[in-house]
Amino acid sequence: MNFSRRDLLNTIGYGVGGMALEHLLHGAVVNPLAPKKPHFAPKAKSVIFMFMEGGPSQMDLFDPKPALMKHNGKPLPTEFTKDLKLAFTKPNAAALASPRTFKKCGQSGLEISDYLPGLREVADELCVVRSMHTDAVNHHPGQLMLFTGSIQFGRPTAGAWVTYGLGSESQNLPGFVALSSGAGTSGGASNFMSGFMPSTYQGTIFRNSGDPILYLSNPDGISKATQRTSLDAIKELNEERLRVNGDPEIASRIASYELAYRMQMSAPELLDFSNESQETLEMYGIGKEPTNQFGTNALLARRLVERGVRFVLMMDASWDTHTNLNKKLKEKCDATDKGSSALIKDLKRRGLLDETLVVWGGEFGRTPICEIRNTSDPDNAGRDHHPTGYSMWLAGGGIKGGQTIGETDELGFTITRDKVHVHDLQATMLHCLGMDHLKLTYRHMGRDYRLTDLGGNVVQAMLR
């Protein structure tokens, strides 16, 4: 019998597809997000990543620099500025001291700004890293670096890696959920994409009012029975196509349709806060401004991890304070501090903090020198992007709270102790989840890729 090249490829595709479908139909891989065993015993089961898009100003929030005051308004010696990577500001710009007051909080004495009174109350749960550094000086590359481990577009994000490695304990909700507040992130969907992995692992955007997902509810006149019949027919067509070419995206599509059907029952309940106490709603700042939007997302994040969702990404936009630093930073802190601290308190009192890793921070920090875009307005001063020596914090899920990691020089330009690269943060996050970042790989185009790319070390000092 003579075979054409197309016949041969179709035959091979049928074999691969048949094996995939055989697994799918006989329960070996009924759900591509079924829970998987970690590499070793984990401390955390899930992650809530509070991403402050734009770059929070570390010397105004977590890393006080009183020495800046004696240089305020004057250019600094070139020994401090010669190696700066700046997006918009010139190295000879004047120093900008912070007017914020800091207080040593909790039994640990963690120093936190007056702009964050809520976080002051949970200081002993926080591990503040003052020595973060990254490879990118602009927003989109910086966000790609933070979430994919590379400034190149198209790689899987942290949430995709986690769900690929561990699956999800939730049967009726996605394993990876993204929530947004503010005016939208410059990285957009690239912060929660699955890259070259199957789309099963990408984040699903949930809204915090109405249907959690657009078009989740059936249109008028479509009964549940009609919908089920339609889905069964679509499933049969997808299964037939899977038999032909074995494309894993078709298996992902089958799973996503079934998950969407189950979500129609469970997702609306997720947004029903009627069983939450009034004290809880007030603690998160729900129903009041400016805390309602972020507070709602924070409470949703808690409810999501309660229901087995593996990774929740909370994206809060507009921390990019090139101008009007004091006004804009206060507005962002007023909107988010209550929800951030409430989440820590709520997780702890429900016994969930020990198994939930909470991460807070942006793609980089801000400069100790001044950026002025409107010279006629003395209150217009802001700070430029700063990829070295910025601050993030972690809590819960295997993290030792009540401590600071790393140190920057007296003016906040460079790291003087215990550098923590973004890859180190990623490796530590995966370690808390019971995964070795060196072993969590995905083969693509002949190469084994990792979230941590070619770097990364677990920061042992962070761990308890």
- DSSP secondary structure letters along 5-55: HHHHHHHHHHHHHHHHHHHHHTTTTS-TTS----SS--S-SEEEEEEETT-
Q: Picking from 99-103, 152-156, 214-218, 292-296, which range would have the lowest pLDDT averaged per residue?
A: 214-218
Share of the chain above pLDDT 90, in %: 69
pLDDT at 137 over 80: yes
Cβ contacts of 51 within 8 Å, gap of 6 or more: 146, 185, 191, 313, 314, 315, 316, 361, 362
- Structure confidence at residue 310 (pLDDT): 98
Q: Which amino acid is at 85?
A: K
Q: What integer is the mean pLDDT of 271-284?
A: 95
Q: What integer is the mean pLDDT of 161-179?
A: 94
pLDDT band per the 50, 70, 90 thresholds, residue 4: low
Q: Which amino acid is at 365?
A: G
More confident residue, 7 or 308: 308
Cβ atoms of 319 and 333 closer than 8 Å: no
Q: Picking from 15-24, 69-78, 170-179, which range would have the lowest pLDDT averaged per residue?
A: 15-24
- Structure confidence at residue 443 (pLDDT): 96
- Structure confidence at residue 269 (pLDDT): 82
Interval 335-385: pLDDT, tens = 999 999 999 999 999 999 999 999 999 999 999 999 887 655 657 899 999
Tell me which residue of 440, 443, 425, 257 sits closest to 357, measured CA to CA. Answer: 425
- Structure confidence at residue 29 (pLDDT): 39
Q: What integer is the mean pLDDT of 444-460?
A: 96
Cβ contacts of 376 within 8 Å, gap of 6 or more: none
pLDDT band per the 50, 70, 90 thresholds, residue 28: very low
Q: Picking from 248-262, 389-403, 432-446, which range would have the lowest pLDDT averaged per residue?
A: 248-262
User: The whole model's pTM is what?
Assistant: 0.86
Specify the residue for token string 């875009």.
Answer: 373
pLDDT band per the 50, 70, 90 thresholds, residue 6: very low
pLDDT band per the 50, 70, 90 thresholds, residue 210: low
Interval 35-51: pLDDT, tens = 999 999 999 999 999 99
User: In the structure encoding, which two tokens stand for residue 140, read together?
Assistant: 């989109």
Helix (H), strand (E) at residue 236: helix 224-245
User: In the structure encoding, which two tokens stand for residue 187, read together?
Assistant: 């990285």
Average pLDDT over the chain, rounded to an integer: 87
User: In the structure encoding, which two tokens stand for residue 277, read together?
Assistant: 């106490």
Query: What's the number of CA atoms in the CB half-sphere (13 Å) around residue 451?
Result: 29
Give the domains, in start order, of the chain with CATH numbers: 39-209+271-462 (3.40.720)
